[in-house]
Amino acid sequence: MLGPNRYGKAETRLVRVHRDGDTHGLVDFTVSVALSGDLAATHLTGDNAGVLPTDTMKNTVYAFAKKHGTGEPEEFALLLARHFVASQPQVHGAKVSVEAIGWERLGPHSFRRRGDHTRTAVVTVTGDGEQVVSGVTGLVLLNTTDSEFHGFVRDEYTTLPEATDRILATAVDARWRHSGVDVAWGESFDASLAAMTGAFVGTYSYSLQQTLYAMGRRVLQERPEVAEVRLALPNKHHYLVDLAPFGLVNEGEVFIAGDRPYGLIEGSVVRDDAVAAVAEWWL
């Protein structure tokens, strides 16, 4: 039998210039749309009567960017998802994902790519409700000290030495689920990002797991509109270089940055009253 399925247009590149006289605004989105619903016939018999072409989805992204502007990523994703569910009776659910690249203003119409991270938003609209998940990927953070790792399990294959002063580095992949859709999206994103980075900076870490929990907990403490935070933190290992062959003492100053393999720490921090709703959006 046919199981759960969906289809859509992935990674539509959208650059929107908002012109206000001589001062321009710049939005840089990558938009993906996925629809589900009464679509079994196209799989089972090839009957496409209920299939909205994915090319139409792409065109809708561009037309809506012109007609309605873009606003924040969450706002634009909600607009699109609601449209597909409302306009297509055979569509029961729409998932719209947006990756937003930031640009820093240099002048009225000049910009520079900002930072190394990407802002994300994933919106799901069905007949049962609406869900918004904001996030960030590729946010590289590093502490040169205030990090230890010791007291761990040892067996016959363990060679890792215990560390009482190490570099802690990661590239944050974080997503946070909102409890509703009446949110000042830009303000909420900036504040959530500041809370996570502030917790990373201010936590004396005995494990990356401890740091993960501190980052998620800080967001929930400071942002009441957030119900749950999920983080994936790769441990970007830095190894002390042996300088003894050169007659030099390396006092925690010269390192080689490892690439692969790396530890990967994943976890979620959830409000007590939001536990029942955490299962679905992780997928």
- CA proximity to 228, closest of 272, 177, 283: 177
Same fold, 1-127 and 139-283: yes
Residue 20 has pLDDT above 90, yes or no: no
d(CA 84, CA 76): 13
Question: Tokens 């942002």 identify what position?
Answer: 223
The 10s digit of each residue's pLDDT in 86-137 is 999 999 999 999 999 999 999 999 999 988 899 999 999 999 999 999 999 9
Q: In residues, how long is the chain? A: 283
The β-bridge partners of 14 are 29
Please tell me the distance from the alpha carbon of residue 52 to that of residue 59, in angstroms, as a whole number: 12
What positions carry a catalytic annotation? 9, 54, 237
- pLDDT band, very low/low/confident/very high, at 274 (cuts 50, 70, 90): low
Amino acid of residue 266: E
Give me the CATH topology for the region 139-283: Urate Oxidase (3.10.270)
Flag whether pLDDT at 232 surpasses 50.
Answer: yes
Domain boundaries, the chain: 1-127, 139-283
**pLDDT of the residue at 280:** 55
Query: What is the mean pLDDT of the segment spanning 39-59?
Result: 98
User: pLDDT band at 276, cuts 50/70/90?
Assistant: low
pLDDT digits (tens, 9 = 90+) for 152-175: 999 999 999 999 999 999 999 999
What is the pLDDT confidence band of residue 272, given thresholds at 50, 70 and 90? Answer: confident
Does domain 1-127 fall into CATH 3.40.50.2300? no
SS3 of 103, please? strand
The answer to whether the CB of 73 falls within 8 A of the CB of 120 is: yes
**283, pLDDT greater than 60:** no
Q: What is the pLDDT of residue 273?
A: 76
